[in-house]
Amino acid sequence: MIQLINVNKKFANGHVALNNVSLNIENGEFVFLVGTSGAGKSTIIKLLMKELELDSGKIIVDDKDITKIKRSHIPHLRRSMGVVFQDFRLLQDKTVYENVAFAMDVVEAASKDIRRQVPMMLGMVGLSKKSKQYPHQLSGGEQQRVSIARAMVNSPSILVADEPTGNLDPEMSVEIMKLFSEINQRGTTVIMATHDLHIVDKMKKRVVEINEGNIIRDERRGGYFSENQNR
């Protein structure tokens, strides 16, 4: 379970990114974070990953207050959370296989586990035949699938995605969302920040809407816009 309790975050320039935000996410949920650009979605994701520190409040992940954990425990936290970005962030000089294996290397996984797990993940995302290719030889959708394999290879309990379909055409986006659904159905909590109203409307998952650092809507099976909002 993930809990944000009265989280405040102001940037050095005085800009308030999150204003007393509280949010509970149960294990196994699928949650969309929506809202206009600058609403505070990425700030929530960065706080979860401990890429940013909050000013006040608490963030509890699996019973631990991650705002209090020691620096030496950050790698452990990041292992329990896979992350996918809009711009894929693959290593260009490594093959597909090596990109995924690298995520296991950095957590010092045993070679035999890497040799077993990486092909399994590439199979899950449908890229077994492309394991020796380099990122620039792949389509955007394929690159995003590599990054999903990389995010999931250490079996995290949470998958966090920041605009994962932002650089993809609609067909590729549908494929990516199928993968996220499968991952969620196998029990992983999925938190996805997005602007993609078609995806949100189609998936009918929980929608948390943020505006100027405040949660203004939390719907169990919501659409991109609230029902009483004019389109």
Residue ranges binding ligand ADP (CB under 6 A): 11, 13, 15, 17, 35, 37-43
Cβ contact 224:200 at 8 Å? yes
Which residue number, 42 or 131, has a Cβ lying nearer to ligand ADP? 42
Name which of 155, 149, 135, 133 is nearest 84 in CA terms. Answer: 149
To ligand ADP, the closest distance from the beta carbon of 38 in angstroms equals: 4
To ligand ADP, the closest distance from the beta carbon of 9 in angstroms equals: 8
In angstroms, the Cα distances linking 60 to 3, 67, 144 are 5, 8, 29
Residues 18 and 210: their CA atoms lie apart, in Å, by: 9
To ligand ADP, the closest distance from the beta carbon of 220 in angstroms equals: 22
To ligand ADP, the closest distance from the beta carbon of 43 in angstroms equals: 3
Read off φ and ψ for residue 44, nearest 5 degrees: -60, -45
To ligand ADP, the closest distance from the beta carbon of 39 in angstroms equals: 4
Residues 64 and 39: their CA atoms lie apart, in Å, by: 27
Which residue number, 175 or 212, has a Cβ lying nearer to ligand ADP? 212
The dihedral through the CA atoms of 168, 171, 174, 175 has a sign that is negative
Which residue number, 37 or 228, has a Cβ lying nearer to ligand ADP? 37
**Residue where the block lists tokens 């699928």:** 30
Residues 192 and 162: their CA atoms lie apart, in Å, by: 6
To ligand ADP, the closest distance from the beta carbon of 5 in angstroms equals: 18
Residues 196 and 171: their CA atoms lie apart, in Å, by: 13
Which residue number, 41 or 206, has a Cβ lying nearer to ligand ADP? 41
Which residue number, 137 or 229, has a Cβ lying nearer to ligand ADP? 229
Which residue number, 9 or 130, has a Cβ lying nearer to ligand ADP? 9
